[in-house]
Chains A and B, each alone.
Chain A
Amino acid sequence: MLRQFLDGDLWRFARARPGMLFGFVVVVANLVLALFGPLVAPYPTEAPAGASLLPPSGQHWFGTDVSGIDVLSRMIASPRIDLTIALVSTAIAFTAGVGLGVISGFFAQGERTGRIFSAAIMRTADIVQAFPMFVFALALVGLSGPSMTNVIVALAFLNIPFFLRITRGTVLQVRSRTFVEAALCAGNTELRAAFAHVMPNAIAPALVHFSTTIGFSILLTAGLSFVGAGVPPPTPELGLMIQVGAQNMITGHWWTALFPGLMLAISVLAFSLFGDHLRVFLDPTNRR
């Protein structure tokens, strides 16, 4: 499988582009850490491993935080939380968004009930997006109670409109092609034509957006935890680490918040770079 991958187009495309290569490596590293991170962390991730606020040293590469917990170990364990939340919420948003997008795009022109239904979906999306995203997420999690599940639900809900719009746009283009008409003439029901024939031809942009959304969701998750409306402490999570480190940062113990923030920024950047380049890769007219 590795052999096949290395001979494949994607790898050849990535090799020539440092941005994509960087994104690819960091994304894979994040996935590996999400699977094995807590197992390979050199120190316990929720218990002290030394004195409080030790600066970076050979023993504690990134120092220890105010409770004496090894910063690096917590960072290694963090993708298990951050990436899981981002992946699961994005997957839900993707499924719901693409589904609704196909329906609203397919029935945008046509008989009356379909049109009304399609318009209703779009207006609902408009309303959801009238709320500033972070404030809305904060309220959703704050009201339903800070927990991993509630963060996932809130992020999934807020990301649906983005997938919905992207998919609807392509569905509108694909809908007018002759093969759709052919499918309908051959006796397929409208729903079957929409999901079996149109959707496969309209899903690529949403797939590309998947990667970018994961990065963005990691950022939102960390932001929510940072203000105390995300996962509860002492979970090894980047936003929580930055929050704990924030007070020490002002007194010059910079390592406690600097490294987790750096990891956060690099991960988000990697996911969006990977997504950007994937779009170019999948769209031959864009390739240069």
Chain B
Amino acid sequence: MHRRFLIFAAKRLLFTIPQLFAVSIIVFFLIRLLPGDPSYMLAGPYALPERVAEVRGQLGLDQPLLTQYFSYLGRIFTGDFGISWRTSQPVINDILLRLPATLELVVLAVFFSIVIGIPLGAAVAVNEGGILKRIVFLYGMLAGSLPDFWIGLLLILVFFYFLGWAPAPVGQLDFAVSTPDHITGAYALDALLTGNWQTLRSASAQLVLPVATLVLVYMPLVLKTARSTMEEMLESHFMLQARASGLSRRTQLRYALRNALPPIITVIGIEFWFLLGGAVLVETIFAWGGLGQYAVESVVNSDYAPLQAVVLVTAVFTTLVFLIVDLLYHLLDPRISV
């Protein structure tokens, strides 16, 4: 690890801290969008007057704004996101329960986008013309306009209703299957770790359609960037040099791909950002029970504390992903890392 990278990493990390504070300020003020007195809304429709008073005390609505903000900050640092009146659970418990389910979807979708998108993009860049190029071009153009929730429904219609290949869209597991022992909270992973094969089979089968939906709709981000940067690399001087030096086709391609990586890494970060939003809709269709569906249920039931928490958690998560992306970029880009 070079010294310059460490300096860059330290700077970038320092920059993340004010960012996170700013995010928390926005989330703090979000709740003030509520019409009227937020304590009535936060306590829920069936709350007793004492509970409303308690919530008002907790929010410190009679305190100066700055005091309110700092006490909010203090609470979120201790993991106190308030109580959901709908599940009567502390919001933090609900979130810890649901976050792994969403991450499982998002991470798998990103993984397959990379595994399919990069080779496909590179292949199209290498082969001038041809039918593959046209198909990929059309698909890339189309995919950005496709409503992810509608694609999910179409997949359910075709693969569950007509063909009967996929299981019913009832969530992360079939009804009859028991949940695996809790390790990470992501069912497929936990089943794999505990060797619970029946659960693993069910969990994986349930994953196929939602992940396929997300990959179909969001992969072109990676695909298009991979194609365009590879094309750029193949036309560059150093590739001409490589060809002139008589390096094998394989080595040439490896050089090109290696140098095309940094922009691709950036776009993978952006894909995470998109997927956290897209997952909300796709989870709703597949009754996934993750963070996205939790947010939607909270909106529909006017349960505001969880909504506020989900916004905070996803924003913090995005900020960290962008941090990792920037660090990786720095490591991978030979022009700045050497």
* Residues of chain A having any CB pair with chain B under 8 Å: 19, 123, 126-128, 130-136, 138-145, 215, 219, 222-223, 226-229, 242, 245-246, 249-252, 254, 257-258, 261, 264-266, 268-269, 272-273
Contact = CB atoms under 8 A, between A and B. Distances in A.
Contacts of B284: 226-227
B307 interface: yes
7 contacts: A131-B318, A132-B276, A133-B273, A136-B315, A144-B35, A250-B160, A266-B145
Given A132-B273, A133-B277, A228-B296, A127 B19 contact: yes
Given A142-B299, A143-B304, A272-B145, A136 B311 contact: yes
B23 A130 contact: yes
B300 A127 contact: no
A271 B73 CA distance: 43
B141 A226 contact: no
Given A143-B31, A249-B156, A226 B161 contact: no
A127 B22 contact: yes
B35 A261 contact: no
B156 A250 contact: yes
B141 A273 contact: yes
A239 to B, nearest CB: 8
A268 B144 CA distance: 9
B310 interface: yes
Nearest to B304: A143
Contact of A250 (B34, B35, B161, B307): B161
Interface string B202-225: 000000000000000000000000
B157 A250 contact: yes
A246 B314 CA distance: 27
B109 interface: no
Given A139-B308, A250-B156, A272-B144, A130 B150 contact: no
Contacts of A141: 299
The 5 closest A-B pairs by CB, nearest first: A134-B277, A261-B150, A142-B299, A269-B145, A268-B145
A157 to B, nearest CB: 11
B285 interface: yes
A261 B31 CA distance: 33
Contacts of B35: 144-145
B147 A223 contact: yes
Contacts of B307: 138-139, 142-143
A131 to B, nearest CB: 5
Contacts of B141: 19, 269, 273
A261 B148 CA distance: 10
Contacts of A136: 311, 315
B72 to A, nearest CB: 16
Contacts of A252: 157, 161-162
A255 to B, nearest CB: 11
Given A134-B277, A142-B299, A265-B147, 9 more contacts: A130-B315, A135-B295, A142-B307, A143-B31, A143-B34, A261-B147, A261-B150, A265-B142, A268-B146
A135 B319 contact: no
Interface of B: 19, 22-23, 26, 30-31, 33-35, 141-142, 144-150, 153-154, 156-157, 160-162, 168-169, 273-274, 276-278, 280-281, 284-285, 292, 295-296, 298-300, 302, 304, 307-308, 310-311, 314-315, 318-319, 322
Contacts of A269: 141-142, 145
B38 to A, nearest CB: 9
Nearest to A227: B296
Nearest to A212: B144
Contacts of B319: 130
A80 B149 CA distance: 22
A135 B311 contact: yes
A222 B285 CA distance: 14
A21 to B, nearest CB: 15
B151 to A, nearest CB: 8
Contacts of B144: 272
Given A143-B34, A258-B154, A222 B147 contact: yes
Given A132-B277, A249-B157, A242 B150 contact: yes
A132 B274 CA distance: 7
A138 B307 CA distance: 9
B23 A144 contact: no
Interface centre among A138, A228, A250, A258 (most CB of B within 10 A): A138
